[in-house]
């Protein structure tokens, strides 16, 4: 049995925040954006508490058979008026622990997000992936996403 087949997707808990932030930072782009102090900056916990209260945002972790967190993603449901009042889902912060990659964990997580988006009545799932993440773009294309849009950003 592959490791990935025993994965469980569950909502992140406050005591996962440290692990999640390390996952977010374990990445070429993420390493420049996070602050891995001990203890972590309180902004992470404040953000977690806000997410937990928000019914439209789910921060999920993939837990392996041993109970360890192997990956994470955030799923947001956005209400809108366009496309006949359709809700859309946005997938963000997809990360797989570096020692757990190439086992299909990312695919299971994203398939969970797609299924959840359907179950919640979304008619569209979208995500932004950095232009430099060619492997990620190939991965999402394999799962059925099309590179239909340009993702434009402004950082303050």
- Beta-carbon contacts of 106 under 8 Å, excluding residues fewer than 6 positions away, are 71, 94, 96, 139
- Interface pick for a second copy out of 7, 44, 60, 100 (rule CB under 8 A): 44
Tell me how far apart the alpha carbons of residues 17 and 40 are, in angstroms, rounded to a whole number: 9
137-156 positions binding a second copy, by CB under 8 A: 137, 140-141, 143-156
Give the orientation angle of helix 17-25 with respect to helix 42-53, to 10 degrees: 110
Tell me how far apart the alpha carbons of residues 68 and 43 are, in angstroms, rounded to a whole number: 24
Tell me how far apart the alpha carbons of residues 115 and 127 are, in angstroms, rounded to a whole number: 15
Name the one residue in this structure whose structure tokens are 């402004």. Answer: 154
- Scanning 2-10, 62-70, 101-109, 135-143 for contacts with a second copy by CB under 8 A, the matching segment is 135-143
Give yes or no for residue 48 binding a second copy (CB under 8 A).
Answer: yes
Query: Nearer Cβ to a second copy, position 3 or 145?
Result: 145
- Interface pick for a second copy out of 3, 18, 19, 34 (rule CB under 8 A): 34
Site string for a second copy, 81-120 (x = CB under 8 A): xxxxxxx--x-xx--------------------x--xx--
Tell me how far apart the alpha carbons of residues 91 and 76 are, in angstroms, rounded to a whole number: 7
Residues that bind a second copy (CB under 8 A): 17, 20-21, 24, 30, 33-35, 41, 43-48, 50-51, 54, 56-57, 59, 74, 76, 78-87, 90, 92-93, 114, 117-118, 122-131, 137, 140-141, 143-156
């Amino acid at each position: 049995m592959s490791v990935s087949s025993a994965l469980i997707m569950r909502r992140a808990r406050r005591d996962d925040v440290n692990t999640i932030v390390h996952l977010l930072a374990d990445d070429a782009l993420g390493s420049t954006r996070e602050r891995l102090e001990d203890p972590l900056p309180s902004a992470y916990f404040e953000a977690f508490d806000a997410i937990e209260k928000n019914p439209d945002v789910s921060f999920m972790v993939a837990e392996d058979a041993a109970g360890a967190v192997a990956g994470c993603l955030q799923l947001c449901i956005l209400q809108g008026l366009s496309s006949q009042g359709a809700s859309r889902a946005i997938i963000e912060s997809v990360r797989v622990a570096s020692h757990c990659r190439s086992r299909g964990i990312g695919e299971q997580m994203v398939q969970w997000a797609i299924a959840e988006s359907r179950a919640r009545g979304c008619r569209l799932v979208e995500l932004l992936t950095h232009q430099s993440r060619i492997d990620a773009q190939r991965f999402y294309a394999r799962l059925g996403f099309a590179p239909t849009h340009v993702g434009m950003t402004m950082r303050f």
